[in-house]
Amino acid sequence: MARVHNFNPGPAALPAPVLEDVQAELMDYAGYGLSVMEMSHRAPSFMEIYERTEATLRELLHIPDAYDVLFLSGGATLEFAALAMNLMRTGRAGYVVSGHFSKVAMNEGAKYGEALCLATGEDTDFSAIPAKADIDAQVAREAAAGGLDYVHICQNNTIYGTMYQALPDTGDVPLVADVSSCFLSLPLDVERYGVIYAGAQKNAGPAGVTVVICRHDLIADGPALGITPAYLDWRSQAMKQSMLNTPNTFGIYVCGKVFEWVKEMGGLEAMEARNRKKASMLYDVIDHSELFCGVARPADRSIANVTFTTNTPELDREFVSEAAKAGLVGLGGHRLVGGMRASIYNAVPKTSVERLCGLMREFEELHAGTSATE
Amino acid sequence: MARVHNFNPGPAALPAPVLEDVQAELMDYAGYGLSVMEMSHRAPSFMEIYERTEATLRELLHIPDAYDVLFLSGGATLEFAALAMNLMRTGRAGYVVSGHFSKVAMNEGAKYGEALCLATGEDTDFSAIPAKADIDAQVAREAAAGGLDYVHICQNNTIYGTMYQALPDTGDVPLVADVSSCFLSLPLDVERYGVIYAGAQKNAGPAGVTVVICRHDLIADGPALGITPAYLDWRSQAMKQSMLNTPNTFGIYVCGKVFEWVKEMGGLEAMEARNRKKASMLYDVIDHSELFCGVARPADRSIANVTFTTNTPELDREFVSEAAKAGLVGLGGHRLVGGMRASIYNAVPKTSVERLCGLMREFEELHAGTSATE
């Protein structure tokens, strides 16, 4: 069968040239006579892969030397605990709740210290990112009142389809961001952050790899808490090039291939332009539709996850089902929101988005007059 | 280039038919039109893979229903912390130190409670497993004195080439075993254990997957410690089929293929017979050699990792280098021991071991009279 149009939220579409390369090298990597999966992580053949992977990522994101880059596992969920264990030195941190995962992160942080909710989008059902002015003011207030070890945000909210358009100003308080679903979708100004982390399974590679980019001075003294598992000790992992124990070697190798593909495609500036174009095609259909409407507040719309609905659950299901029949998969919205979600990460080509736009128009024509807003 | 003879200690050789399958399906799994790496972990196509993988493992090891099976990540190193967090209900556990990793496990346990050393092989440089009678007596003594939440062993010591030939008798105290390097090398009597865990990268699949097999009643009340990260909460992971968050989907898929291969090859009884044959071929060369001698005490020899040395570091290096030239890779001993180590996991064919035995004999002939024992 031909490859489908893949709108999965993660694990998600990977670039076809990357998969073709991986396939070609699967039994014998670069003439070494074995698969990357069969190599010792300490062998020069793998260390070369690891170092090239890190170097390409550093190049793409212009990561300064003052930052360590780690390739770990356990996803953002495990890092929710790790960041508190590593950074909660005074035992007080601030969280902006802009969706499900940022709330989970806050609840996880509360196991290890005081996890303050600085602002929440709960009153809008997370269709909007809390206002920057409110966040900034609250950070300043709490930093002055009792100090903050860090301020945590989830920069793109996969489930709701919202994204920060501007970062909070946190002054001297390190900004920590879960960027899982917008990592490599656009450039990031790394120096604005203390820590950036991301599950790879959206834009960076297969599931099973977590990228952590951490300003070294924040971890130079080791983890804040003595109960930190060795595996989650960012300083130790940085000293050992993520090889305190055997890492997900194959996953890191595929990430490296994806990074090289991004570079060949023109880097993150080119990715952002492509992603904005794809997103605007979809938002344009939504904004001109009498059947479909967007879930996220227009000012906070994500360029990675486009959420929309007909406001009729039966019709939503019909659309997702019709789309699947036409070879467009992964369009069902998250159970917390319902409706539809098109995840249009880097590896989703414009042609797939065109096909989806076409299908939405056809579906609307077919169901003219059944809009729930009538 | 032809595929090499792969004696890597882990990540290690994978069965060629498994890799061929993975390669064939890489761009399009079973006609779904996408790679397993690109599938949502919640899609029926992946859930079918997951459930088949678990079912095959249950069949191979005859895992009773009273045990949960988890596919996590972070390796044994992360489970060292997880097991203490989940099981240290009274805050006191016993550890048998039979090598480097079992000591690391004990030190990790000591972060969360009292981690007692019940017995150690340090006096023999870990060339021997501590005597069963001593372990059993010490367990009984400590269990009576202050109670023990569990007794931890590392069943096969990859670095030293030693393996328990009989399990300790721990009475009512749950036995917890890191079986990473002998997992699937031979049958295990699961009911003898409270918890069995293993990094997949020896016999079960690629690096990045950790298998945890846990008696359900031990975790039914949730983790012992409130500071347990959600990801490491075995009960939650069991309730969610290892999908509290996105698991290493591709790694789990490859593990499933390996499990099916083991089943087709005759199951764990057949694997044990094959592995014992391969091991005895090597030990036979070692025992009849005037140049090579074994590292492990003969009574405690591993059937997965065969350690040996010429007792001359230069000659050891020459052997490893000559072997590599002849297409036999991964034979260098661990830095803590030196010498040579042949890891002969399930996927290492008898022909590779024959080739190694031949090379050892040739090398000895060439270096007759240079033995360090003369």
Is the pLDDT assigned to residue A125 strictly greater than 50? yes
Average pLDDT, chain B: 97
**B129: closest CA among B256, B5, B296?**
B296
Q: Name the residue of chain A whose CA is nearest to B254's CA.
A: A37
pLDDT of residue B374: 39
pLDDT of residue A223: 98
Total length of chain B? 374
Inter-residue contact A354 to A274 (CB < 8 Å) = no
Give A 5-34 residues with CB within 8 A of chain B.
6, 8-14, 16, 19-20, 22-23, 26-28, 31-34
**What single-letter amino acid sits at B250?**
F
pLDDT of residue B368: 79
Give A 235-264 residues with CB within 8 A of chain B.
244-251, 254
Is the pLDDT assigned to residue B129 strictly greater than 90? yes
pLDDT of residue B370: 60
In chain B, where the domains are located: 16-264, 266-366
State the number of CA atoms in the 13 A half-sphere of A309 facing the CB. 17
**A367: closest CA among A331, A317, A295?**
A317
CA angle B337, B340, B344 (to 5 degrees): 115
Is the pLDDT assigned to residue B262 strictly greater than 90? yes
**B189: closest CA among B272, B312, B313?**
B272
Per CB-CB distance under 8 Å, the chain A contacts of B11 are 37-41, 246, 249
Model confidence band, residue A1 (pLDDT cutoffs 50, 70, 90): low
* pLDDT tens by residue, B95-108: 999 999 999 999 99
Q: B16-264, what's its fold?
A: Aspartate Aminotransferase; domain 2 (3.40.640)
* pLDDT tens by residue, B275-295: 999 999 999 999 999 999 999
* pLDDT tens by residue, A172-192: 999 999 999 999 999 999 999
Average pLDDT, chain A: 97
CA B256 to chain centre: 17
Judge: A201–B246 Cβ closer than 8 Å, yes or no.
yes
Give A 306-365 residues with CB within 8 A of chain B.
327, 329-330
pLDDT of residue A295: 96
**Which residues face B2 on adjacent strands?**
none
Is the pLDDT assigned to residue B369 strictly greater than 70? no
Per CB-CB distance under 8 Å, the chain B contacts of A23 are 23, 26-27
Selected from 1.10.10.1150, 3.20.20.370, 3.40.1160.10, 3.90.1150.10, the CATH number assigned to the domain covering B266-366 reads: 3.90.1150.10
Q: Name the residue of chain B whose CA is nearest to A328's CA.
A: B33
Q: Provide the whole-model pTM.
A: 0.97
Per CB-CB distance under 8 Å, the chain A contacts of B207 are 37, 41, 246-250
Cβ pairs A/B, distance under 8 A: 223
Chain A closest-CA separation from residue B244 CA (Å): 8
Chain A closest-CA separation from residue B121 CA (Å): 23
Question: Three-state SS across A255-321?
Answer: HHHHHHHHHHCCHHHHHHHHHHHHHHHHHHHHHCCCCCEECCCHHHECCCEEEEECCCHHHHHHHHH
Tokens of B317: 């290096």
* % of chain B surpassing 70 pLDDT: 98
Per CB-CB distance under 8 Å, the chain A contacts of B242 are none
Judge: A207–B246 Cβ closer than 8 Å, yes or no.
yes
| Mean pLDDT (whole number) for B119-142 | 98
* pLDDT tens by residue, A273-321: 999 999 999 999 999 999 999 999 999 999 999 999 999 999 999 999 9
DSSP string, A182-215: TBTTB---GGG-SEEEEETTTTTSSTT-EEEEEE
Judge: A28–B3 Cβ closer than 8 Å, yes or no.
yes
Chain A closest-CA separation from residue B345 CA (Å): 12
* pLDDT tens by residue, B8-46: 999 999 999 999 999 999 999 999 999 999 999 999 999
Residue ranges in chain B assigned as alpha helix (H): 16-24, 44-61, 75-87, 100-109, 132-145, 216-219, 234-239, 249-264, 267-287, 313-325, 350-366
* pLDDT higher at A335 or A210: A210
Question: Three-state SS across A7-51?
Answer: CCCCCCCCCHHHHHHHHHHCCCCCCCCCCHHHCCCCCHHHHHHHH
Number of C-beta neighbours around residue B47 at 10 A: 15
Is the pLDDT assigned to residue B166 strictly greater than 80? yes
**What single-letter amino acid sits at A201?**
Q
* pLDDT tens by residue, B247-256: 999 999 999 9
Model confidence band, residue A368 (pLDDT cutoffs 50, 70, 90): confident
> B312-330 burial by CB neighbour count: b if 16+ within 10 A, else e?
beebbeebbeebeeeebbb
Judge: A230–B4 Cβ closer than 8 Å, yes or no.
no
